[in-house]
Structure 1
Amino acid sequence: MSKLRVSCFSLSIDGYGAGPNQDLDNPLGVNGHSLHEWIFETQTFKKMLFNQSGGTTGIDEEFAARGFQNIGAWILGRNMFSPSRGKWPNFDWKGWWGDNPPYHTPVFILTHHPRPVIVMEGGTIFHFVTDGIESALKQAKDAAGKKDVRLGGGVATIRQYLQAGLVDELHLAISPTLLGSGEHFFVGTDLSKLGFRCIEHISSLKATHIVLKK
């Protein structure tokens, strides 16, 4: 059965999944890039984002690669797709990633404002869902078939799915950095009451990887 997975989601030691003051120049918030130092040099990241060879191996690479295994569709919050808020100013913006985004599957974007489907290079197709998280999940699972759906974020989107009891697996990468403010991951979310248990934890030089399942 298809699962809804959160993979490779980076948090600071103090629980923030993005820094403050997100904008076009700081899509991850101020100092938010520090959360992701563990993945930047991995083979998977270099290949998926830049189509480059080489990169590091080891624990971080293993988790990065696992995050893309058996994924048939993605779900993203609007802020993961675009820096704009409210009604779309126009339809020129097609994401942060250029003509060939790293998803290579259907991607379902949660938004309150309709927009036509965007077909990109490499198999990525952006669909814009205006009728809620459960509708997006149904559409994503239909598109994924027997494969899993990856929930990419951001923080508020993941919290919605967690609080609705819809997430099956959660991989958090705790980075050795403090943000102090931004988007806090655990606000209003009791993972224990939601039925999660830790099934795996291992540390690299740049992150502590924790896997939780129901």
Structure 2
Amino acid sequence: MLKDGSDSRAALWRTAAGQRGYFTAAQAVDAGYSYQAQRYHAQRGNWLVIDRALYRFREFSDLPDEGDEQLVRWSLWSKGRAVVSHTTALSAHDLGTANPARIHLTVPRGFRQKSDAVILHRAELTQPDIEDRMGYRVTAPPRAIAECAAAGEDQDILDAAVSEALERGTTSRRRLLHAAQLLGPRAELGVERALAASS
């Protein structure tokens, strides 16, 4: 049975509302919009074209920017398989001074997509490593800090992130050490130094 336009818009709006107004072409099809209808809405300016097969309702672009809208975009680009990680996760958690020039995403080993705008890390994350946000997922603070240590990020970035995470009660020394142990000696060394600096 064909949906009428208002049913399709309401269905797509419900999906997009949980993703900061973003939606994929596939989600639009599921809501009842043919590819021809999608082209029409994009050409008329009803939908903003963000990337190939990725749109945003124009109304959402007028809302105040919360700073992490682009992370929703990259989650949709990855078809929900990517998790925001490393220094981008620290930034999302507002921990320390990390300000990465490119988006860091952790993806499953078989992930094939590529973009110059992102740095992909391959790992199989478990649920305790991940926090759900509106429209995307991000590594939890202990994992994000340990990832940065394992990647050899500047010690000042680690020190600031660990100090703020402990001060806010976001994590504990024990959880940080455990997360670092899972990622190896380099991660352990960086986290141990940061913990010593925060004592």
TM-score normalised over the length of structure 1: 0.25
Greater fraction of residues in strand:
1
Task: Work out which structure has the larger RCO, using CA pairs closer than 8 Å and 6 or more positions apart in sequence.
Answer: 1
TM-score normalised over the length of structure 2: 0.26
Q: Which has the larger radius of gyration?
A: 2
Greater fraction of residues in helix:
2
